[in-house]
Each structure stands twice: as structure tokens, then as C-alpha cells.
Amino acid sequence: MTEQNERQLQFPQLNKPAPAFNAKTTHGNRTLEDYKGKWLVLFSHPADFTPVCTTEFMGFANAAEEFSAMNTELLGLSIDSIHAHIAWVRNIEENFGVNIPFPIIADLSMEVAHSYGMVQPGASDTAAVRATFIIDPEGIMRAMVYYPMSNGRSVKEFLRLVKALQTSDENSVATPENWVEGEPVIVPPPHTVEDAAGRKDKGYDYVDWYFSKKTL
């Protein structure tokens, strides 16, 4: 296996430190350390001036204030130059009336793309660079989602997922399928026979010893 293929096979790991970076962006240089103390949504695109990605950029831009209210920063990435990024941002504002408030990494060297496993074997140089990563305030990778070229991401899902992760961290609970803020959460299952036997009397929304919910 060649060194290049080994790089292409590199993936970050959940619940491990996210790969560090020091990258040129449309808002100046950015490092992972710059985001310490905040949640970060890092999302990548194969190239500027692509239609599906344009809709996603607008979606993230329109939700930027909602992310900010959750102590969450947005950071885009594309395998293109700073000048191409600036032209794309200006084009989106001129054609769609949407201002892009977040920085965009110019990753012509593909260094960040490779360190985050965005370029997958068998793909062209940039075709597979379309992924989303959620990194917590300590720089730990908490979620990774990869998408095909043909289908746009749901920005609402990332808003939901960040809120779910924050809720789990703050309350030591899990969240069920399609959970949204205000709905009941899942109580962690008991770890001893004694705790399992007494679970019904804890005041939870009890279904069985391993499955109980509560409202925060």
C-alpha cells in the first residue's frame, strides 16, 4: 500500500481528540485550538460553485444564529482557493441574498481533508470530500456523518444533534430517535440486579427494567 493510500484510509475516531489543523480561511488563519470552549461543526464540500453545496451553505448560514445560541461555531471547507471561496461567497449573496457569516478553509493541499478521512479510496481527488464533524469544547470528536454527492444535508438534523449531545453531557442521559428539546429523555439502564429490581419505583416513565424515560 502506498503512503498516499495510507493517508486516504486515515479516519478520526469518535470520543478521541479531533485532528489538529492550522488552515488558511476566508476569515484569516484558523486552528482547532481557536475553538476550545465552544462546539464546532466542521463541514466539507468537494468544490466551490456546485449547486447542492450552495444550498447547504445557505442552509448553514440561515441557521448560524441558532448554532451560535448553542455555543456552536461553523467552519466550512472546500478543496479550492481563497479567491474561489471569496468569489463563491459573493456570488451567493448576489444571486440569493444570503450572507455567509462563517469562515471557509482553503484546503488545496488536502491536508485537512486527509487528516479527517474526507477523501476515500477509489474516489477522484475531491469527489468524496463531503462530510460533517461535530467537535466538542474540549476538542473531542463526537459525531461524523458522510454524504454522497447527489443529496444535500439536513442542517436541522445538525442543530438537533448538537442539542442532543449537549443535553446528554449536561444531564447524563441518552436521547431517543428523533428527539428534540423538551421531549422526555432516556434514563441510563441500571448496572446491578438490585438497581434493576427497584427501577419501577424511581418515579420514571417506566416500561421495563432497562427502558425508562424522564422529563428534564
Question: What is d(CA 151, CA 128) in angstroms, rounded to the nearest whole number?
Answer: 13
Q: How far is CA 190 from CA 20, 94, 131, 166, 175, in A?
A: 37, 56, 36, 22, 16
Residue 53 falls in the annotated catalytic set:
yes
CA 135 to mean position of chain CA atoms: 7
**CA atoms of 56 and 168, how far apart (whole Å):** 27
Contacts of residue 116, Cβ cutoff 8 Å, sequence gap at least 6: 11, 12, 18, 19, 42, 44, 131, 133
Catalytic residue among 40, 53, 113, 118: 53
User: Which residues are known to be catalytic?
Assistant: 53
